[in-house]
Structure 1
């Protein structure tokens, strides 16, 4: 149920670097009340207005550290993402998103379990693709959010 509240409604932004819009970002929360060790965070299924943005186009910012790829985060075995901490998902998308309302389909993939599961070893070696439901922990459904991107002033 908490998956309905994973994206902050006013957290959709375009990102600019050297005067050019290079992508967009979303302010996100964790679905599991226990949080998780960051190495278990596998990325997101993100689709905006029918365009899917794969995990390799995503970077994650948390704990005051700069954005990191999920391949890098996989090695953050001692770093924790606390339930009440907000993270930022950065998505590489040249030109970003147009101002206005966007339909964002979203699912968080966190390989957290309450004990050993037969999939654990396989998922460590080859994490499941976000959006398939595998490894979705407390957020098993893809949720559609309707988010507004304000025009830049």
Structure 2
């Protein structure tokens, strides 16, 4: 529904630990107009410059809390991500990104928060892999963005 606004265009930057680039991050918004409880947020399909970065290499920062992996996020049943709140997705990548333009493909995976579908209980145990159709929520398509790496972080 809000696919064109999922990533803030000027937010792509490298992440550093001990002055060494360990990955990159970018600011995101939720595609669901209701927001969601974090436990329903299942991660992202992320491809940057032709390289896919699975959920295991991703962390998520929202509500003023430190970045968390999606195993921890799925336990946050009372914490809500509101529609207009910006969050950050962190991606582990040794050395970070090179300066310049980068093509990012992205799809959010937010599990349904209303109604009951036969696969809901299975998804609690085995969440669908983002980018492969199931669990895409309001972002049915994989969206593409051209972002320039910013200095910072």
TM-score (norm 1): 0.96
Moved over 2 A (4+): none
CA drift of 1:143 comes to 0.7
For residue 42 of structure 2, what is the aligned residue in structure 1? Answer: 42
In the alignment, which residue of structure 1 is the partner of 2:119?
A: 119
Aligned to 2:11: 11
Q: Does the 8 Å contact 2:40/2:113 carry over to 1?
A: no
Give the 3-state SS of the residue equivalent to 2:64 in structure 1.
coil
Q: CA deviation at 1:102?
A: 0.6
Task: Please give the root-mean-square deviation of Cα atoms over the aligned residues, in Å.
Answer: 1.0
Partners of 2:15 and 2:21 within 8 A in 1: yes
2:72 corresponds in structure 1 to: 72
Gaps of 5+ in 2: none
Number of the residue aligned with 1:106: 106
The alignment partner of 1:56 has SS state of: helix
Q: How many residues align?
A: 152
Does the 8 A contact of 1:13 with 1:24 survive in 2? Answer: yes
Quote the residue 2:144 is aligned against: 144
TM-score by length of 2: 0.96
CA offset digits 1:124-144 (Å, max 9, x no partner) = 110000001210110011011
2:63 matched to 1:63?
Answer: yes
What SS does structure 2 have at the residue aligned with 1:4? helix
